[in-house]
Chain A
C-alpha cells in the first residue's frame, strides 16, 4: 500500500506509478493545469513533494524540450489520476516517486489549512510509525540552503547576442536563459558561489538573479554577493533572485503558509494599473511596502515586484519566463534587455 504521509500524521492512500522508494520532502501543491514536466524539472521544486490539483496529469506525454533542467527536482509527485502511461514511466526511469489515485483535493485542503509541511511519499511497504519518525527527523524548509545542490558547478556561455547578460544560477530554469537568448542576449551562467568581483570583471551589461529552491533567509553568502553587485551593474531578480535582491536592499523575507504555485495568479503592476496573469512558484515572500514595491499580488497582497531606486535593480516574485504558465509578463524581460541595450549604446 503506497501513501503520502504528512508530518502531522495525516495519511493519504495512493497507487505507486513511479519509482519504488520512499521520498522525503516538503509537501506542496500547484494549481497549474498544464506543464507537469516543466514543474517537476524546475529546480525550485528541489526537496519537495508536489501535489497537482489538476485532475489528470500526464495527458500529452513527455518531450525533452519541456524540461527546465537535466532531471526531475521534485522528489515526488502526487496525482489524482494519470492521463497517460508515458509520464509515470518517465518519472520511474528517473527515480522519482509518484502516486496516483490520491484524494488530492483533500491533500490541498489540508495543506491550505495547516500549511506546507514535511512529508514522505512511500511507494511500497513501510511502517507508518517508522516513516513518521524519519519525516520528523528531516530538516524543515525554513532555514534550508538548497542552492548548492542545483546550481551549475562551472560557468558556461550561450548565444551571440549584442547584450551581454550574466545569470547567477541559484537553480535557474532553462526558460529564463531561453527568454534572454530570444531577447538577443549573449548569456554567461555563473555558479551561485561566484564572487561578485569575478562577475563585474567580465563587465556584463546586466545580471539576472535566477530562481531557485529553499529559504532565501539562509543564503547570506549569496545576499552578500548581490549587495556587491547592487549599484554596479543593472540587476533583474526572478523569484528567489527577487528575494535575494530584497534582502540585499535591506528587506526581510518570510515563509508563506503554503506558498503560491500555479499559472493563474493575478499581479497588479502599480505604475500602470495593469493586471498580469502570472506563473508562480514560491514558498517564501518579501516583507515590505513603500515606493520600492512595483507589483503586488491581487490574491493576498504580498510583494510581487521591487525597484531599488538609484541602483538600477528590479525584481519580480513571479516568473516572467512562464513555462509553464501564461506569457503576460514576458515583455518584462524584453523591456529589461532593451533598457540594457539602450544604456550600452548611450
Chain B
C-alpha cells in the first residue's frame, strides 16, 4: 500500500530528559522518523523538552516545541498546530503514556488528531498487566503466574516466595523488585503502589535463573510480521534487561527452540494488535525443560530496538515511521542494500555484545545489587566475528574508572547463572591470553589467535608486563593489522554499499576505500553521568558540518543508543572502542586530513597524545591547550599574565599538608583530587578537620578557595586563535558549589547587569586566544561582590552547547567546525548576542529515586542524568515550566515545609514571608521555626525525627502527603542526619524538594510570577531573534 494520502501533518512526541531507562535511543528513533516523514512530504511537529537532542534541532522538523512532556503542554501544542496524526511509538514510555492520557481525556478526539502506530487499545493491552495476561493466554502462551495488587491489604496469602513486584506504567521497571519474605513484600509493595501512576503492582512468579531472550518484531498494516533481531541476555531473569549483558543474535538456542520464540513473538504482536511498527517482546525460558513465559512487550521503539538496529543495520525507527504512514514491509527498501525490501530479515555474520555502564560510585549509600529495576546509565556495544571478540570490545569500551564498582568488572568473577556456553567461551579467551608470557615468543599465529579472541594491545601489555606501545610495535612487526568489515544486514548475500564498519582480525576487509580529506570525529562512548547526549549532539553536528564543508565525515563511537552511530550521520561509521589501539588503527587506514577531538567530551582528549605522537593532525584547538587548562599551575600562571583573577589555590599531598594549605587560603575551601573528572570526590570543607577528613594519606589534592554565595556563570565562546565571539553567558540558578551540570541555568543571565556581562566577555576574550583555542571553549566564572573570578576553562565543546545553540539560534558546533577548518571568525558573520527578548532556562534531572539510600542533595559532584529546557517571556515563567518539564512541578499553594542550616536562617525569612503572602501555610523544624517566628512570620513548629516528643515528625508529614513543597539545605555530610531523612521522604513522596537557598529563591519567584503563555516553537523563536 502506498502512503496514506489523508495524512498531511504528524506530531511526534519525544521522550524528554535523559533518565535511567530512557536515553539517547529515543533521539535516534525520533530523528530517524523525522527524516522519513519529511521526505514523505509531511509537515512535522515535535514536542520534546530535551534540548540536547538532535530531533529538537530546528532543521529537523517544521515546528519544534521544547515544552514539558505533560498532557497540558502537549494538548496546547496540538490545539495550536492541529496535526492530522500523533505518532507516539518513538518517544519511549513517556510518549506512549502521554498519548494514552490524551486519548482518555478525549483531547485527541476533540482536536481530531488520530493516533497512528499504536492505538490506545493497543497501548492498554500491552501495558496493563491484567489485559496483557489475558491477551497472551488467549493465544495459548503463558505469562508468569501473577496477581494484581491494588492495596497493601490486598496481598494474596498463597504466594510462593520469592516473588517479583512490577508496578504498572512505570518506565524501566521503576519501583519494582524481588521479595523473598512476606515482610519484604509488604515493604516493597508500599513503594511500588506509590510509584505506579495507577496504583497497581503485579506480584508474580519469580523466574530468577531462567534464561532471557528478546525479539524485535515489525508488523505492517497488511499483517506481515518480520523478526529483525534476536537478543540473548547473559545475566539471567531477575536482572533488568537494560542492566544485562546482552548478545545478538541469540547464541544458545537450537533452531526448533528459536522458531518457537519467533512464532510466539509473532502471535503476541498480532494479539496485542500493534497496527504498524516495531515491538520488543521479552521471554523467559527454562534451560532444562524449555518452558516459556512471555514477560512483557513494548508496543513501540525501545532501547532494545535501538540496539537491534545497530546490531543488524536494520533501521527499526525509520521503517516504523514509514509503516505508520501506510507503507508495507515489502515496499520499503533496505537502505544498506538498496535492492532488498524491509521484509528481508537481517542475517548476521558477526556477533554483537552490549555491556551496561553503571554509576554507583556517584551514589554512595545506594544498593548496587542488580534487580528488576534498571540502574545502569549507559551502554557500550562491541562488534566482532566471534562472541569473545565482540564481548571484549564492549568490555573495554565501557571506559570504567579504576577501582569503581561495576558488575562484570573482571572476567575472573562472572555473575551467577550465566549460561555455561558463555562461561566456556570466556574461559577459552582467558586461556588464550594466558598462553603467552612475553612478546618475544609470540609468533604471527599467536598474534592472530590473541586478536581473534578479542584481546586488545593493552590487555596483552598487562599480561606481558610491558607497555601498550611496545605490544603494538611487536604485533605490527608481524604484519598483524585489523581488517574492516561492513555491517550489511544480509551476511554479504546481497551487494551493499554500507558505510557501517567494524574491525576484525586475520581476514580480508571489504570496507569502502577511504577518500582523501576525511575528518575523523571521535565520539563520547557510553553515556555516564557527566558525559552524555550533549556530546553526541555535538559529534552529530560536527559530522554534518564537516560534510557541508566538503570533507568526508568519519565517526567513531561505541555507544549504540546514539544518533552519531546512525550510519546516516557520517560518510563512514566505525563502530569501535574509543581506545588508542582502535583509533590509531582506523586512522592508519583513513589517513584523515584531521581528527576532531573537541566534541566528544573527555573521552577523545585522552586519545589526543597518542594521535599527535602518531603524526595525526588534531583539528582546531591543539591538545596542549587542554593540558594548559587542566594543569592548575600552568593555568594559574596564564591567568596571572592575563590579569584574570582565579580563586586562591594550592596543591598539597596528604591530609596535614592539605590542612596547612587550606588554612593559608582561608575557609571554606574546595578540595579535590588533582586528576578529578566530573567532580568526583570533590568536597567543600569549612574547617581544617573537614579537610583532613576529606584527604587520604597518599592523595595529591588541589585546594581552592570556595567562593561562598557567589553567582556562577557559564560561558560558551568561539575562538579562531585570535578573535573570540562570546556566544552565550548563562547564569546558574544555584550558587557556586553546585556542579555546573546539576545547576539550573538561565540565558540571558537574568540578574547580572550589562556592564558586568561586558567585563565577563572581556575576560573570556583574553583567555580564549591565550589558551590557543580554535573552535569552542567553555569558561566557568564566579561573581563575588562585583569581582570576577575564573573557576575553570575547558577548551572543548561543553555540556551547555546544545542549550546555548537552541536558546541563541546559532549552531555553535557548525561555527566551531568552520573555525577548525581554517576560516576566520570574521567570515562567520555571527549574529550579535542579544540579551533582550525571551528567557531560556535549563534544569537538570536526577536519578535519586532509582538509588534509595543515596542523599538527594546537590553538591560539587555531578549526579544528574539529563536536562530539560524551556523558554518564556520572563524568568519566572520559564523556570516554572522547566521545573514542570523536569518532573518537579511547583505547587501554587498548599503547605510548605522549611528546614535550613544556620547560615541560611536569615535568608529563609524573606522566602517564607513571600510564601506566606502567596497563601502557603508554613511549617518548620524548631530552629528554623524560631527564626521565622522572630521575624514575625506565622509558622507551625514540627519536631525533627531525631528529637524526642509527641506528634508527627517532619518525615511523617511528608509521607502522609501533608506537604507540597520542601525547602531543606544540608547541614552536614552525616548520612543519617535529619536533613537526609527529610529529603529522602520528599523524594519518595514525590514532593518538590529544594536543597539550596538560591534554588529556593528561584522557586518562590516562579511560584509568584509564572504566567500562562502560548507555547512558542523554536522556529518562531529563532526567526524572532534574527529579525
Query: Which residues from chain A sit less than 8 Å from chain B, CB to CB?
Result: 29, 31-35, 38, 53-56, 59-60, 63, 66, 80-81, 83-84, 101, 103-106, 108-109, 112, 262-266, 268, 273-275, 277, 298-299, 322-327
Contact = CB atoms under 8 A, between A and B. Distances in A.
B340 A298 contact: yes
B592 to A, nearest CB: 26
Contact of A31 (B222, B227, B491): B491
Contact of A327 (B249, B263, B385, B452): B263
Given A60-B253, A262-B493, A273 B222 contact: yes
Given A84-B421, A298-B330, A56 B351 contact: yes
A112 B330 CA distance: 23
A81 B344 contact: no
Contact of B252 (A60, A263, A275): A60
12 contacts: A55-B386, A56-B386, A83-B425, A108-B349, A108-B491, A112-B494, A262-B493, A275-B328, A277-B345, A298-B340, A324-B259, A325-B255
Interface in B319-365: 328-330, 340-341, 343-351
Nearest to B349: A53
A31 B425 CA distance: 23
Contact of B255 (A106, A109, A324): A324
Nearest to A267: B343
A18 to B, nearest CB: 19
A108 B350 CA distance: 14
Given A55-B348, A266-B344, A277-B343, 8 more contacts: A31-B349, A34-B253, A53-B349, A54-B347, A274-B224, A277-B345, A299-B340, A299-B494
B492 A105 contact: yes
B485 interface: yes
B250 to A, nearest CB: 8
B492 A326 contact: no
B492 A298 contact: no
Contacts of A325: 255, 259
Interface string B1000-1013: 00000000000000
B506 interface: yes
A54 B346 CA distance: 12
Nearest to B347: A31
A277 B265 CA distance: 14
Q: Which 5 pairs of residues, A with B, have the shortest CB-CB distance?
A: A35-B255, A103-B507, A53-B491, A266-B343, A264-B345
A63 B256 CA distance: 11
B789 interface: no
Nearest to B262: A326
A326 B259 contact: yes
A38 B255 contact: yes
B341 A266 contact: yes
A35 B254 CA distance: 6
Contacts of B421: 59-60, 83-84
B510 interface: yes
- Residue among B251, B340, B491, B510 with the highest chain A CB neighbour number at 10 A: B491
Q: Is the interface of B mostly helix, strand, loop or mixed?
A: loop
Contacts of B350: 55
B492 A55 contact: no
Contacts of A262: 347, 493
Nearest to A29: B493
A29 B350 CA distance: 15
A33 B254 contact: no
A276 to B, nearest CB: 9
Contacts of A60: 252-254, 421
A105 B263 contact: no
Contacts of B485: 105
Given A103-B507, A105-B510, A298-B340, A81 B385 contact: yes
A109 B254 contact: no
Given A108-B491, A277-B343, A268 B508 contact: no
Interface in B215-243: 222-224, 226-227
Given A53-B493, A298-B330, A327-B259, A105 B341 contact: no
B251 A31 contact: no
A104 B491 CA distance: 10
A273 B506 CA distance: 45
Given A264-B345, A277-B343, A80 B255 contact: no
Contacts of B425: 83
A34 B260 CA distance: 13
Given A84-B421, A108-B491, A327-B263, A56 B387 contact: yes
B349 A55 contact: yes
A296 to B, nearest CB: 10
B348 A298 contact: no
B493 A55 contact: no
B408 interface: no
A274 B223 contact: yes
- Residue among A38, A265, A266 with the highest chain B CB neighbour number at 10 A: A266
A59 B251 contact: yes
Contacts of B254: 34-35, 60, 63, 66
B493 A105 contact: no
Interface string B478-516: 000000010000111111000000000011101000000
Contact of B385 (A29, A80, A264): A80
B510 A109 contact: yes
A112 B252 contact: no
B495 A112 contact: yes
A268 B252 CA distance: 31
Contacts of A83: 251, 421, 425
